[in-house]
Amino acid sequence: MWKSVLTPIHSDGWRFIALGAVLALVLFFLWAPLGWLMLAVTAWIAYFFRDPWRVTPTRPGLVVSPADGMVIAADRAPPPAALGMGEAPMTRIGIFLNVFDVHVNRVPLAGVVRKLAYHKGRFLNAAHNRASEENEHMAIRIASVEGADIAVVQIAGLIARRIVCGLTEGQEVATGERLGLIRFGSRTDVYLPAHWAPLVMPGQRVLGGETVIADAVSQEPARQGRSH
């Protein structure tokens, strides 16, 4: 019960919360309305950095969402060139995170981190497909337990200005494990082998570490859907 009521705060957020609280206290002395406004901003910062508990499906082959948000792409695209995974199109699932979504990213499939590649780029609207290539991003190549290499890409958005990745090359990671976060609006892409069909579709909401987005051992075709 307590896990559903008391949501943990990501460690990266405490300094921002502390700064907001100090500013709110100072503004209360100067002019109370400004203090209340800063207090509201501090509460939103705490909300933004929330890191809720998740229950991750663990059947072999299941690929879980690396982020909370809305699926905006379920298509084919080459992985980031810096990862050295070739130019052949892979199954790409793109997830857009608005400023109200949980921004903690999670590992979609267990394996070993083979390569990390940071790209200092632009800050376009993360909902645009151009953002995958042009925006600032951190690309992560993982040799999965299924025998195939996959990639996760943390992409900065229009107002995002900081990508945090806690992984190191050679590290073993588990499905659903926290890998980092992106601050204040962003996008997260996953690149999977071309024959792994997406089990989600554009417009669908997903939860990081919980929603199954693909299955390495399933022969199910890509799903279709409609909004209503």
| Judgement on whether residues 97 and 208 belong to the same structural domain of the protein | yes
| Judgement on whether residues 128 and 207 belong to the same structural domain of the protein | yes
The conformation of residue 173, written as its DSSP 8-state character, comes to E
Specify the number of domains making up the chain: 2
Residue 228 has pLDDT above 80, yes or no: no
The CA distance from 26 to 20, in Å, is 10
Inside any domain, residue 153: yes
Q: Answer yes or no: 186 catalytic.
A: yes
Catalytic hit among 11, 186, 218, 227? 186
Tokens of 30: 């100067």
| Judgement on whether residues 79 and 121 belong to the same structural domain of the protein | yes
Amino acid (one-letter) located at 94: G
Domain with residue 206: its CATH number is 2.70.70.10
pTM for this predicted structure: 0.89
| Full DSSP string of 46-112 | HHHTB--------STTEEE-SSSEEEEEEEEEPPPGGGT--SS-EEEEEEEE-TTS--EEE-SS-EE
Check the CA dihedral 113-191-227-58 and report its sign.
negative
Check residue 224 and give its pLDDT. Answer: 79
Q: Supply the range of the domain harboring residue 93.
A: 62-215
| Judgement on whether residues 43 and 127 belong to the same structural domain of the protein | no
Q: Determine which helix (DSSP H) or strand (DSSP E) holds 132, and give its type and residue range.
A: helix 131-134
Mean pLDDT calculated for residue range 66-85:
96
- At 151-206, the pLDDT tens digits run 999 998 766 567 889 999 999 999 999 999 987 768 999 999 999 989 999 999 99
| Judgement on whether residues 13 and 97 belong to the same structural domain of the protein | no
- Flag the least confident range among 95-99, 114-118, 209-213: 95-99
